[in-house]
Amino acid sequence: MPVDENQLLELNTLQGVMLPYPLQVGEEARKLEKYLYGLLYNRLRSNGIDRVYIGPTFHKWSTTHCRPPTNVLDIGAGYGYWIRDAREVWPTANFYAFDFHNLLPSTIGPNVHHVQGDLLSSFAIGGPRVPLELRLSPEFLERRYDYIRMANMSLAISWDEWPKVLKNLTSLLASGGIFELVDDGWFPPVFEFVAPIEPQKRYTYDRAFQDMLHIRGIRGADIAQKHWAKHVLTSLGKLSNIQHVSIEHKDVSTYEPDDLQMSYRWWRTLVLGADAIEARFMAWLYQENAEIDRNRSMRLQEVREKTNIPQWIEDFHQLRDLVKLSSPDPYVYNGSTFAIMIFQRPRQA
């Protein structure tokens, strides 16, 4: 069953320690996911008002496969918007929704199965650092998937982790299976405000945000989506069990040319990122303080000083309020591109 709102705060804190992802779950994140999904998978009709669903994949499935997929894996399934529509096209398929949270509606259908895990540690079955609830079952790992979709995860995985993640996922493909990567091209703006500085850490909130992006290979002014796409292509090119089919870029302005709320939507995304970073750093600071206390109680050498967490929280809230109370105008979304990359596992003779 999906978690309720009271559980999300605890899960977000756990997520902040374990997963390098910039968005919290909740109503704002749900709206953003729905918006991005609808933007790409629903084509605007000639009347400029109505939209029509284009299908679950940009791959021309019928040209390479004589039947619909049997097992479908959606990485980062979120609230299940993609799966909901894909079920109508592939009604006989079994869908596996891989995500840290179970956010799927209870009415989504009996052929949809939530798989809890994270891409960075869950594949290390039996490893001591993998929590029991995140360990993937042997059944999941032994199953082969005819179609694997991974959408809008460029911010969720650090640059150095991509080769390992891609290797793990492509190993799950069935013979002739399709692996489709979709990226929404979200490159957040630079903060316009100077954050308060916590004296001990000498680390500003805006610097933390930019550093969080940087370790993911994203995205100073000199790094853009094309670098991420090239990195993915290079990583997959080193794998012998998969071949490149196509890469396509779609300009977002062709999907929503008259969206007057575009700037506001992306400004809200920035606020979501701010909230998520606060949760992550708070969890880390509490963990560090507890470690310092433990070392001192055991008379171990400990040169670190405990952090004044209340002051740190106040600093975070001051910057967050600056962002939330400001106009979206400084964060005008200057346009982006959806990248769609498709790969296939060669068919066995």
Domain ranges of the chain: 5-344
Q: How far is CA 125 from CA 27, 69, 201, 202, in A?
A: 33, 27, 36, 38
Domain boundaries 5-344, corresponding CATH code: 3.40.50.150
Residue type, 299: R
Prediction pTM value: 0.69
At residue 137's C-alpha, the angle toward residues 136 and 142, to 5°, is 105
pLDDT for position 81: 92
Rounded CA separation 224/132 (Å)? 37
pLDDT for position 287: 81
pLDDT for position 57: 95
How does 332-347 read in b/e, with b if 16+ C-beta sit within 10 Å?
Answer: ebeebbbbbbbbbbee
Rounded CA separation 206/199 (Å)? 15
pLDDT for position 9: 44
Residues of the chain with pLDDT under 70: 1-29, 32, 44-49, 122, 124-134, 155, 158-159, 184-228, 251-281, 315-316, 318-337, 349
Rounded CA separation 215/304 (Å)? 24
Q: For residue 19, which of 141, 153, 128 has the smallest C-alpha distance?
A: 153
Residue located via tokens 């560090």: 288
pLDDT for position 2: 46
Residue located via tokens 């790969």: 343
